[in-house]
Amino acid sequence: MTKEVLLLKCGEIVLKGLNRKRFEDKLLGNLKRRLKPVGECGVSMRQSVIFVEIPEEVDGDAVMEAVRKVFGIALICRAGVCEKTLEAMQETAERYLADEIAQAHSFKVETKRADKRFPLTSVQTSQHLGGELAEKYPHMKPDMHNPELTIHFEIRDQYAFVHAGPVPGAGGMPVGTNGRAALLLSGGIDSPVAGYMMSKRGLELVGIHFFSYPYTSERAKEKVLELGRRLTAYCGRMPVLVVPFTRIQEEIRDKCHEELFTLIMRRFMMRIAERLALDYECGGLVTGESLGQVASQTMPAMAVTNEVCRTLPVFRPCIGMDKEEIVQIARKIDTFETSILPYEDCCTVFTPKHPNTKPKLYKILEAERALDVDALVDEAVAGTERVILG
């Protein structure tokens, strides 16, 4: 059986300067943590390539699946390992890529000679191995322009590697290299996508969910936690802070005009989220808002919501996306089917029939005078429950 390795090519971290090692160390640490549940794989980095050694007793497909969700990796090559001789490379290609060779009608060979001590150049190596393969497998015709199969040989410092080409990695930046942010996580489609997108830019996430029992059920809460669990495949370990929100919503219902319910509720959410985010040393808030998608996501409405965030920036990665674009990402990260389960969250409680889409800040401030804002925020923060996912 051919020894198998994943060759991981880094993305934009290769452009970093003096701080590049910090990014590489974080990526290696993230990889090791994600692979630990799968098996004891060796992880090392040489010549700007990360090597993941897959022991015989470990499921290579499971390793591949885990690695494909680690941000910071641009390309993944699943390769067979052999000695750095022409004979060994040819034999390994025939054995490791036997199924691909049997099905292909045309092929070409590409060689990367990272070890310059190897006696043949890349072109000479490709010509020799390509000629041998063409002679042995006459059903495969050499085609340098549009081959069905490209056989890659990489000659590196210790071994040679044989593979059929790279597949895309998750891209982005290693999680944790750009700080931490609090994600307002609802049970809908948009917020998990927003969390995924900001995690891809190197942010650790702290989830914040607003729970309005008994208006929303325990199953609704579990749905949100399941969305968080699915996100951890990409963002790693994540605490989710479950905020009791019933009292605030009832106070708004009893003391404020109906058309302002949603806006005042959103302002409370942002106040509470900022308080909790600062407690967890977060540098920003993340929401799944998309411009114009619902009444609370018009420009005037978001300006009114933003007004209560006095310390932290608010990131809205979905802001310019339409629903279909967001759904496509939700399907890709396997959150869509969970998001559409029919358990309502607090955003659907006490929804006004005719919400105000062009609110004036002075009217909102006037309405909030009927509420003991600080006491309600303090009570909600004090009652927050923490659940660790991942």
Percent of the chain whose predicted confidence (pLDDT) is above 90: 87
- How many Cβ atoms from other residues are within 10 Å of residue 186's Cβ? 24
Question: If pLDDT is split at 50, 70 and 90, which confidence band does 145 have?
Answer: very high
CA–CA distance from 246 to each of 28, 154, 172, 180, 211 (Å)?
Answer: 43, 60, 38, 28, 7
Residue 369 has pLDDT above 80, yes or no: yes
Residue 351 has pLDDT above 90, yes or no: no
Question: If pLDDT is split at 50, 70 and 90, which confidence band does 355 have?
Answer: confident
Q: Average the pLDDT over each of 281-290, 302-311, 348-357 and give the range with the smallest value.
A: 348-357
pLDDT of res. 296 = 84
The domains located in the chain, with CATH, are 4-168 (3.30.2130.30), 180-389 (3.40.50.620)
pLDDT of res. 1 = 63
264-286: pLDDT as tens digits: 999 999 999 999 999 999 999 99
147-195: pLDDT as tens digits: 999 999 999 988 999 999 999 999 999 999 999 999 999 999 999 999 9
